[in-house]
Amino acid sequence: MRKYLITLLVLFSANALALNAFDPVAKTLTIDSVTKDGIRYNNVVVQITGVEVVDVGTSDPTKDATCPEMFTVAQYNAISVGMSLAKVVDIIGCGHDMDGTETSDNNVLRSWETSGVIYRGIAVNFDAVTGLVALASNHTFKKRIAF
């Protein structure tokens, strides 16, 4: 069964158009739309039972992960409640730091770090169920560090 689920995930994710949410409690991945063999599937939910890396997506593994040397206040100000992770990544210009991800209750705090000599960062709180930017228990949803 595990092999079947991993194969299903690989087949569907290869043609995924958008990632809506990952629910860490239920361990489900919800994908907006997937096209496989010319057939379009909408609102696809995949149960994750194990993790196996099958592709890193680029021949240069640092390409997608490298953030700019400096974040701007405009980037920070553009992030708002209700945004998807994909939209936040688009605004910031790079993927979040997987090692800096913290999960508690229904919150997932994702962080981004600059590639410059001086550490600068952005942290954004996401709802663990919806996957969207949301207020944390301290009534904030983002913070900036050293800029």
Distance between CA atoms of 81 and 62, rounded to whole angstroms? Answer: 29
In order, the DSSP letters of 54-100 are: ---SSSSTTTTTPPPS---HHHHHH--TT-BHHHHHHHHTS--EEEE
Q: What pLDDT does 112 receive?
A: 92
Q: What is the pLDDT of residues 77-97, one digit of tens each?
A: 999 999 999 999 999 988 888
Q: What is the pLDDT of residues 6-51, one digit of tens each?
A: 444 444 444 444 446 878 888 888 888 777 777 888 888 888 877 6
For domain 73-145, is the CATH number 3.30.1450?
yes
The structure tokens listed for 75 are: 């980037």
Contact 24, 103 (CB under 8 A): yes
Nearest one of 73, 81, 79, 72 to 116, comparing CA atoms: 72
Q: What pLDDT does 96 receive?
A: 87
Q: Where are the domains of the chain?
A: 2-47, 73-145
Nearest one of 123, 145, 40 to 79, comparing CA atoms: 123
